[in-house]
A = this chain, B = another copy of it.
Amino acid sequence: MALDEGATISERIRLGLGRLTPTGRKVAHILLANYPVAGLETVSELACRAQVSAPTVLRFVSRLGFASYPDFQRALRSELELQVQSPLVKARFSLESATPTEQLLNRFHQSLADNLAKTFRSVPSAEFDAVVDIFSDRRRKVLTIGGRFSDALALHLSLHLRIIRSGVSHIAGQSANWRDHLLDLGERDCLAVFDIRRYTPDLAEFAAIAASHRVGIVLFTDQWLSPIAQKASHILAAHVPVPSRWDSMVALLALVEAIVASTTERLWSTAEGRLATLETMRHVPRVG
């Protein structure tokens, strides 16, 4: 790893520019001009771009404080990963005039917008369609279940689906009782599982059992993919990191809402009637 942490690599290059040898400076300029791509190429490719020899490039990264060239590349990649693939939202409005709270809100918003962008960019539309297909198929029963926190999303999904179609349930309560629900499920049916990190072992076990009964598994998870991914027939992954002690479920909720919106549209001809019926029932005093 790099000796001198804190600054981004491009900053470190700019700062070190004075201390470099003439050829080293050539490398630095090429790197800054084509940042960060040039640094992700091989040593010889970069050397060729900068019209210097390979050892010069190595001496350069060494002087920047990296133990090796692969080490340098790793740093570059992890920076790229954070720095976002959405360069449009730079919006440097964390100025000194802002109060600490405003800054916090800004940072938080930034991360969320970022997660949203990455999530929507990476979700395969074929996968999305497939899931909507399943949820729109009234012949397939749908069971939803979630982990400790993500269960709220599972509930959210089932609440909406249940309104527009029949055969939807949410599995709550003790994990020992979960598998009872599987009795009702056949090969054509579907289990929607929500599992984000600190993945729930009970859930994985349950999903495995479901999979062994040939129940289709739709997995909503985070960008690192729950272990359940191995059993899942369809996967929708959302980005969850935010500047917080907890992970964010905003992008995952966004996916659920998009799925629900699309499914509702698909089933609208029949869902409309159900909603109307529901409306009239609302005025009847509730039982209990």
A residues within 8 Å of B by Cβ?
A: 10, 13-15, 17-18, 26, 28-30, 32-37, 40-41, 51, 73, 77-78, 80-81, 83-88, 90-91, 99, 101-102, 104-106, 108-109, 112-113, 116-118, 120-129, 148-149, 152-153, 155-156, 159-160, 174-176, 223-225, 229-230, 235, 237, 239, 242-246, 248-250, 253-254, 257-258, 260-262, 264-265, 268, 286, 288
Contacts and interface: CB of A to CB of B under 8 A. Distances in A.
A250 B243 contact: no
A118 to B, nearest CB: 8
B257 A248 contact: yes
B261 A35 contact: no
Contact of A159 (B88, B149, B248): B149
Contacts of A26: 225, 229-230
B155 A15 contact: no
A130 to B, nearest CB: 9
The complex is assembled from copies of this chain, and their number is 2
A103 to B, nearest CB: 9
A109 B117 CA distance: 7
B126 A15 contact: yes
Given A160-B246, A242-B261, A126 B87 contact: no
A69 to B, nearest CB: 13
A99 B109 CA distance: 29
A116 B116 contact: yes
A88 to B, nearest CB: 5
A77 B37 contact: yes
A51 B258 CA distance: 29
Contact of A122 (B32, B112, B125, B126): B32
A25 B31 CA distance: 34
B244 A264 contact: yes
Given A112-B116, A116-B116, A152-B153, 14 more contacts: A17-B126, A17-B127, A35-B121, A37-B78, A40-B40, A41-B77, A84-B87, A88-B90, A91-B117, A105-B258, A108-B261, A113-B113, A244-B265, A250-B253
A30 to B, nearest CB: 7
Contacts of A113: 113, 116-117
Given A108-B258, A125-B101, A223 B34 contact: yes
A220 to B, nearest CB: 13
Nearest to A98: B125
A254 B250 contact: yes
A168 to B, nearest CB: 15
Most chain B CB neighbours (cut-off 10 Å) among A10, A29, A129, A149: A29
